[in-house]
Amino acid sequence: MLAAVPAGSEFMVPESKLEPTEHGLISKGEGWFALNLRGAVWRHVDGRGAVCLAGDDFEGARRFEQLGVNSFVLGPGEPMSLYH
């Protein structure tokens, strides 16, 4: 059963600000954001493709509490993963 919501209550999640850096746009602060992957920060590794760092930088600077998505791009002949 849902509780009644008082008139005038705000349930809007705030928008996070996008900040330009030398390598692309990053989200600063709490809240939602929409970002074109072309403008995001990417990490490139020769022979291993590229990963978009918009959602998670792998070094602990930003973790989403509920949902995060990382986009990977592989060039021709680049392996998806390596067994080690």
Q: What is the CA radius of gyration of the chain?
A: 18
What residues make up the domain containing 83? 41-84
Residue type, 44: H
Residue 11 forms part of a structural domain: no
pLDDT at residue 60 above 50? Answer: no
Residue 22 forms part of a structural domain: no
Mean of the per-residue pLDDT values of the chain: 76
State the DSSP code for 32: B
Q: Which long-range contacts (CB under 8 A, 24 or more apart) does 12-18 make?
A: none
What is the pTM for the complete model shown? 0.58
Residue 71 forms part of a structural domain: yes
- How many structural domains is the chain composed of? 1
Residue 81 forms part of a structural domain: yes
Residue 4 forms part of a structural domain: no
SS3 26: strand
Q: How far apart are CA 31 and CA 2, in angstroms?
A: 25
Q: How far apart are CA 1 and CA 22, in angstroms?
A: 50
pLDDT of residue 58: 47
Residue 84 forms part of a structural domain: yes
Residue 1 forms part of a structural domain: no
